[in-house]
Amino acid sequence: MSQLALQHYLAIGAIMFAIGLIGFLSRRNMIVMFLCTELMFQGVVINLVAFGAYHGNLAGQAFTIFVLVIAASEASLALGLVVLLFRQRNTLDAEAWRELRG
């Protein structure tokens, strides 16, 4: 096995993003959908770190720290919302909220 090159990291990131996307589009459980979006996030973050290492600077890593912080705070909000939504309908099914379309 030769050394890991940039394209290996990019491939991993793309695969993680695609899995997340497919999961988001195919599942209805709100927690799972939320997890899938997190997965897509991490796919992107791997890209950032990989490019940072490739270019030999810290910009990608610094950006990653930001993304992680924001993702953490967003996760706490989103999970809280999910709990509230669950209390309203007693189900995690996203389709229970269809009437929000207006």
Residue 85 contacts other proteins per CB under 8 A: no
Q: Shortest gap between Cβ of 73 and other proteins (angstroms)?
A: 22
Distance separating the N- and C-terminal Cα atoms of the chain: 56
How many Å apart are CA 27 and CA 59, to the nearest integer?
Answer: 35
Among 1, 25, 77, 84, binds other proteins (CB under 8 A): 25
Among 58, 59, 79, 97, binds other proteins (CB under 8 A): 97
Residue (of 36, 34, 23) closest to 79 by Cα position: 34
Residue 94 contacts other proteins per CB under 8 A: yes
Among 24, 51, 63, 86, binds other proteins (CB under 8 A): 24
C-alpha angle 22/28/33, rounded to 5°? 55
